[in-house]
Homo-oligomer: A and B are copies of this chain.
Amino acid sequence: MKSNGLSALGRRTATPPISWLMATALARPGLISLAAGFTDKESLPLKEARQALTEILNSPTEGRTALQYGTTAGEPALRRLTAERIRVLDGCADGAVYSADRLLLTSGSQQVLYMVTEALCDPGDFVLVEDPTYFVFLGILQSHGIHARGVRLETDGLDLAHLELVLEQLKQRGQLPRLKLLYLVSYHQNPTSTTTSFHKKQSVLSLLRYYERAAGHPIYLLEDAAYRELTFQGGDVQSALGTGKQADRVLYAGTYSKPFATGARVGYGILPEPVFPVVMGIKGNHDFGSSSLLQQLLAKVISSGAYERHLVKLRARYAHKAKIMLDVLQKEMPEGVRWVVPQGGLYYWVRVPEKATSGMKSRLFQTALRKQVLYVPGELCYVDDPARPKPNHEMRLSFGAESETLLMEGIKRLAAAIMLSLARRG
């Protein structure tokens, strides 16, 4: 037969590296995984979830609603609680942008990213991303035949001068009509732990708006706020929804997976017209609505205050684990290894000296695997860009899943692998 009958998307869809990393971590019990973004085991809210679910299922009314289909947009109570929560986080009085009618509940924020891409992008279109960015989003773009263009990062978010340069280049090449959105992981970014300032969000939206004239259509900002609630301490940065009139170009993706339970997979999108009804239609086709039971669980723990109490403990716990990892990095890593100290989230972004590489095919990655420690190679997080060689000296280390003891042991093993790799190459 001439072909295997797959679609263009099917042929382009590689098994994403995250699936391989997650499966590897689960299948090798001896392996210390500093790779996948699993969350802390010990602080998982077993008691809170059990109490809430028991309460729901003890009530014939609540229980029946929980075990039945709901609407495609999701449980009304959780939509209201979530929209209100984001409004309060943003410190905004204006309710219109934070109306529950603009909010859709999903299977994690990942599903928002996928559906927004489907709603806006055709094969051959362009999407701007931070360079580096969340590698699973790059997988979505790749499978849809969409070109990613990277914008450099500074400590407070995107390099605006570089963003303007990239936009200007797209304009000059006549590619602006194919630019649909800019994807921004705005809080404790995956993988670099960078948080984008509110000022930069405003500037980004203004720049995009300026180039809309030449594009001939809206250019959206897709703000992925997955790590927003995991700030260790101190204030929250306003989301791009807080930019007033500019909010009509903001697609906000949030989640309860990371702050509550990744096993519950409840996420949400806050979307403007005309994107909201289209994503609703796509959601209807995907699964016509996510699990009512999980949505009720979240509504219950938020209403009771259990969610907020859990969050306080969780933040302290991650801050503690981040500190432990910092101590052992400082103690164990050879000279020349650099890292960013996160203020929240789950990751250290570590750079090894130039003479070692960190990619999946590198000696370092293989040595680390042999020593039973897994990390996410930085190369996975960078776009393919003819304008620069793909950086290959970084790694994402997560302090999410493993215990303190294993984090320390994992960093020791990794430091040994790096030293070995540097010695061999030297």
Contact = CB atoms under 8 A, between A and B. Distances in A.
Interface residues of A, number: 93
B212 A1 contact: yes
Contacts of A3: 216-217
B22 A288 contact: yes
A121 B2 CA distance: 16
Contacts of A49: 57, 63, 67, 293
A287 interface: yes
B287 A107 contact: yes
A323 interface: no
A254 to B, nearest CB: 15
A86 B274 CA distance: 43
B36 A63 contact: no
A177 to B, nearest CB: 8
Interface string A254-286: 000100011111000000001101101110111
Nearest to A69: B262
B264 A67 contact: yes
A290 B44 CA distance: 18
A212 B5 CA distance: 10
A317 to B, nearest CB: 14
Given A38-B68, A50-B58, A143-B282, 20 more contacts: A1-B217, A3-B217, A4-B217, A4-B274, A7-B125, A7-B180, A9-B118, A10-B120, A14-B281, A19-B284, A39-B69, A50-B63, A53-B54, A53-B57, A65-B263, A66-B263, A67-B264, A111-B286, A262-B292, A293-B294
